[in-house]
Amino acid sequence: MSEGARPEAVASTGVASGASAPAGPGAGGRGPDASTEDGPYRLAELLRKAERAVVLTGAGVSVPSGIPDFRSPGTGLWANVDPMEVATIDAFRRDPDRFWRFYGDRFASLHDREPNPAHEAIAELERRELVHGVITQNVDRLHRRAGSRRLVEIHGSIEWSVCLRCRGRVGLERVLELLQEGDGPPTCESCLEPLKPDVVLFGEVLPRAAMEEAFALASEADLMLCVGSSLEVFPVASLPAVTRDAGGRLAIVTQSSTPYDGDAAVRLSCDVVSELEAVVSALD
């Protein structure tokens, strides 16, 4: 892994930190927009020819499951909440009760969500051995529930909460029970410390093992399929550049523009469900 790709940057749980994606040939421009009838067929052909395709997903892949993204005006997760007040590691340590009043409702909502056809299409590409691995910025577990096997959850997962003192782990079901049983935050049953969700908060460094695996997948990929991501959050935003600079190709399926649109061999801009379902159909 090159020096410039070391996974040591401070991260967030899906909120842009103010940095922008690395400029490259065509960055900021619009790539070949294949949101026509032949677009899914072109992407299907790229997948057939690829030997080590990798999928990178963001919040947009889970929106059809009823999970809001982060930036949409009025509906995004941070539309009415200042993330720096509730979603930092310092905020958790300073006032875990307030932290869990916000996150408890969110986790309960995520617990009931189901994978949508976009998650299922990606899992189907894995089953057909057309995709070598999935890297996700999402913490909602939906890729895993859809059947994805080699999955790198860069920002962690709501599946577990951890005690920062004894490192004990508690599953989501038990955490939700603790929230219902008590008035305060869920606590470790061994040392009574407040539990922290096993997700990356503002002010925390991304897990080294996850980032190393993600960068390894990106550097070895001859095709990176980016789905439902604005590709603006670092260091994840540098992963397409790793693939591109190693000679791999990029394909982008998302409704928003990205800094890599000018580099994409295929650019699909309709909703992720219809586009990915059409790709799977084109492979039949």
DSSP code string of 120-161: HHHHHHHHTT---EEEE---S-HHHHHT--SEEETTEEEEEE
Residue span(s) of the chain under CATH 3.40.50.1220 come to: 1-67+115-155+207-284
Measured between alpha carbons, how far is 153 from 273 in angstroms, rounded to an integer? 21
* Cβ neighbours of residue 174 closer than 8 Å, sequence gap 6 or more: none
Task: Please give the chain's pLDDT, 284 residues, in tens.
Answer: 333 333 434 444 333 233 334 444 444 444 455 445 689 999 999 999 999 999 999 999 999 999 976 554 544 454 456 666 778 999 999 999 999 988 888 888 899 899 999 999 999 999 999 999 999 999 999 999 999 999 999 999 999 999 999 999 999 999 999 999 988 899 999 999 999 999 999 999 999 999 999 999 999 999 999 999 999 988 999 999 999 999 999 999 999 999 999 999 999 999 999 999 999 999 99
181 and 170 in contact (C-beta within 8 Å)?
no
Closest to 222 in 3D by CA, of 56, 42, 50, 55: 50
Both tokens of 199, joined, read: 């997700």
Report domain 78-112+157-199's class. Answer: alpha beta
Query: Residue 155 catalytic?
Result: yes
Tell me the residue type at 47.
Answer: L
Record the pTM.
0.85
SS3 assignment for 198-217: EECCECEECCHHHHHHHHHH
222 and 50 in contact (C-beta within 8 Å)?
yes
CATH superfamily label, 1-67+115-155+207-284: TPP-binding domain (3.40.50.1220)
Residue span(s) of the chain under CATH 3.30.1600.10 come to: 78-112+157-199
